[in-house]
């Protein structure tokens, strides 16, 4: 893509005028822009990393600014308040919470804990790879199980593969990149049963986006003393991807084992951000609302083009483009839009993150041009 200044680019895209309304979705008010901090429109548009296009909220930014006053202190003595807040939210004891530098670190330290020196981890393909890629560097053996015909974890096949070598089962639910969601009853029964034979890790990074009423979190099994670990993040619905803070939930003896392997931990500003984010319900609700609006624009575009897609339970959509993703990547980048990387074996499928309404409108226009 040739280098254009912002105004030239907007004119080229046909968006130099007012962003007053997008298909019935009103533009943000001045007050909303201050409170919810939409990221500025830039070229290329990055809809490739499942980031929240809003945040940190004004409440969180103010808390982080105040946090500089204690920036000279190490964070360890300031983490108890956040641990207590998370424990209250999840209905567990504070000693069951392991705070880390983003949930990715939580996945990695779990991979080391259970996969080092030949420990077997059973995981689906495709799925989020942070745990398995890192664990392999420490000698873990990964037992890959292809997703089923509905692009969901094949729980029956996973259960069949459990052996005395199996140290951990990794579940990402909703799954990244497919955005699929397992039956709540089925996944709970599965985790309840197999946790008697091995440890189950439930990555719930996208749990907040689930629309199914009363959908169970595997935290409920942690409360029952099961060998289950749950990961959560502040990166998605709370808009703190760049701040790097997340947490694990497990029974006390597992939590203590995991805590010993934490390397990056987090920092004072992240702790202050997370504490405030948990209290900022207005931003939380706003993020969910705008995510649904953005998905509706993308769905309409895919429907207009007659493209198959998975009904999403996340902040991204997985759709079948009908052409090799590497080819589509280049074509879309020429139009100023970055899309997700390849996810074998789905070489003709594309993962597109939700963005601001301005961003998804540009994505829609670009995709229609490329697919014409």
d(C-alpha 66, C-alpha 34), whole Å = 18
Is 350 inside a domain boundary?
A: yes
Residue 160 sits in the same domain as residue 252: yes
Q: What percent of the chain has pLDDT over 70?
A: 94
Q: Is 1 among the domain residues?
A: no
CB neighbour class for 15 (10 Å; exposed up to 12, middle 13-18, buried from 19): middle
The CA distance from 22 to 323, in Å, is 28
Choose among 130, 88, 68: nearest CA to 270. 68
pLDDT surpassing 80 at residue 69: yes
Residues spanned by the domain of 174: 59-279
Domain end, chosen from 262, 279, 296, is at 279
Residue 245 CA to residue 238 CA, distance in Å, equals 11
CB atoms near residue 366 (< 10 Å): 22
d(CA 213, CA 203): 19
Predicted confidence band of residue 60 (pLDDT cuts 50, 70, 90): very high
Q: How high is the pLDDT of residue 26?
A: 86
For residue 179, say if its preceding peptide bond is cis, omega within 30 degrees of 0: no
CA distance 302 to 297: 9
Are residues 140 and 34 part of one domain? no
Same domain, 255 and 330: no
| DSSP three-state, residue 26 | strand
Measured distance CA(257)–CA(276) in Å, rounded: 28
Whether residues 163 and 197 fall in one domain = yes
Name which of 345, 300, 342 is nearest 325 in CA terms.
Answer: 342
Q: Which residue has the higher pLDDT, 124 or 14?
A: 124
* CATH number (domain holding residue 192): 3.40.640.10
On the question of pLDDT at 16 being above 70, the answer is no
For the segment 26-45, the average pLDDT, to the nearest whole number, is 95
pLDDT tens digits, 211-231: 999 999 999 999 999 999 999
299 in a domain, yes or no?
yes
pLDDT at 2: 39
Structural domain contains residue 35: yes
Same domain, 136 and 70: yes
- Do residues 172 and 268 both lie within one domain? yes
Mean pLDDT of 49-55: 98
pLDDT confidence bin for 265, thresholds 50/70/90:
confident
Last residue of a domain, one of 263, 279, 295: 279
Clarify whether residues 97 and 236 are in a common domain. yes
* Domain count within the chain: 2
Give the CATH number for residue 47.
3.90.1150.10
Last residue in a domain, options 279, 297, 320: 279
Helix (H) or strand (E) holding 284: helix 281-305
**DSSP assignments along 87-144, one per residue:** HHHHTS-GGGEEEESSHHHHHHHHHHHHHTTT-EEEEEESS--HHHHHHHHTT-EEEE
Same domain? For 16 and 130 the reply is: no
Is there a single domain that holds both residue 268 and residue 287? no
Q: Is the same domain home to 72 and 220?
A: yes
- pLDDT tens figures, 336-366: 999 999 999 999 999 999 999 999 999 999 9
Would the pLDDT of 22 be above 70? no
Residue-wise pLDDT for 282-318, tens only, equals: 999 999 999 999 999 999 999 999 999 999 999 999 9
Token pair of 323, please? 């052409």
Mean pLDDT confidence for 186-206: 98
Q: How confident is the model at residue 105 (pLDDT cuts 50, 70, 90)?
A: very high
| 184-198 average pLDDT score | 98
Q: Give the integer Cα–Cα distance in Å for 291 and 314.
A: 9
- How far the first Cα of the chain sits from its last, in Å, is 19
Q: Is the pTM of this model over 0.75?
A: yes
pLDDT over 50 at 1, yes or no: no
Say if 190 falls within a structural domain: yes
Q: Is the dihedral of CA 347, 349, 355, 357 positive or negative?
A: positive
Closest CA to 187 of 131, 134, 124: 124
Does 229 lie in the same domain as 103?
A: yes
Residue 6 to residue 20: CA distance in whole angstroms:
19
Query: Does residue 267 register a pLDDT over 80?
Result: yes
Bridge partners (DSSP) of residue 172 are 203
Radius of gyration (C-alpha) of the chain in whole angstroms = 21
Q: Is residue 89 included in any domain, yes or no?
A: yes
In a domain, 334, yes or no: yes
- Classify residue 18: in a domain, yes or no: yes
Looking at residues 184-203, what average pLDDT do you find? 98
- Regarding whether 51 and 129 lie in a shared domain, the answer is no
| Cα(166)–Cα(172) distance, integer angstroms | 18
Query: Which conformational region is residue 177 in: left (phi greater than 0), alpha (psi within -120 to 50 degrees), or beta?
Result: alpha
Cα gap 312→71, rounded to integer Å: 40
Find the angle CA(76)-CA(81)-CA(255) to the nearest 5 degrees. Answer: 65
């Amino acid at each position: 893509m040739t280098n254009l200044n912002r105004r030239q680019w907007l004119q080229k895209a046909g968006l130099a005028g007012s962003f007053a309304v997008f298909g019935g979705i009103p533009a943000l008010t001045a007050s909303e822009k201050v409170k919810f901090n939409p990221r500025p429109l830039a070229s290329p548009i990055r809809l490739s990393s499942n980031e929240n296009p809003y945040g940190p909220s004004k409440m969180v930014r103010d808390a982080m600014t105040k946090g500089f006053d204690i920036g000279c202190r190490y964070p360890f003595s300031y983490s108890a308040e956040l641990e207590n807040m998370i424990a209250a939210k999840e209905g567990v004891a504070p000693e069951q919470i392991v705070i880390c530098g983003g949930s990715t670190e939580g996945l990695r330290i779990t991979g080391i804990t259970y996969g080092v020196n030949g420990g077997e981890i059973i995981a689906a393909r495709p799925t989020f790879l942070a745990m398995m890629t890192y664990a392999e560097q420490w000698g873990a053996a990964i037992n890959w199980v292809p997703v089923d015909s509905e692009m969901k974890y094949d729980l029956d096949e996973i259960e069949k593969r459990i052996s005395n070598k199996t140290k951990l089962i990794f579940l990402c639910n909703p799954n990244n990149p497919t955005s699929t969601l397992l039956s709540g009853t089925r996944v709970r029964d599965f985790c309840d049963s197999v946790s008697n034979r091995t440890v189950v890790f439930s990555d719930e990074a996208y749990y907040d986006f689930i629309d199914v009423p009363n959908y169970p979190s595997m935290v409920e099994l942690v409360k029952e003393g099961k060998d289950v670990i749950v990961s959560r993040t502040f990166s998605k619905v709370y808009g703190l991807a760049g701040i790097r803070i997340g947490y694990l939930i497990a029974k006390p003896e597992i939590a203590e084992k995991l805590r010993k392997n934490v390397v990056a931990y987090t920092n004072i500003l992240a702790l202050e951000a997370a504490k405030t984010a948990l209290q900022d319900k207005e931003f939380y609700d706003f993020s969910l609302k705008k995510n649904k609006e953005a998905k509706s624009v993308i769905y309409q575009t895919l429907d207009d083009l007659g493209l198959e897609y998975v009904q999403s339970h996340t902040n991204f959509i997985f759709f079948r483009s009908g052409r090799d993703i590497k080819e589509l990547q280049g074509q879309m980048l020429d139009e100023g839009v970055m899309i997700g990387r390849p996810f074998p074996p789905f070489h003709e499928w594309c993962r597109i993150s939700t963005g601001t309404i301005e961003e998804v409108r540009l994505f829609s226009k670009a995709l229609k041009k490329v697919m014409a």
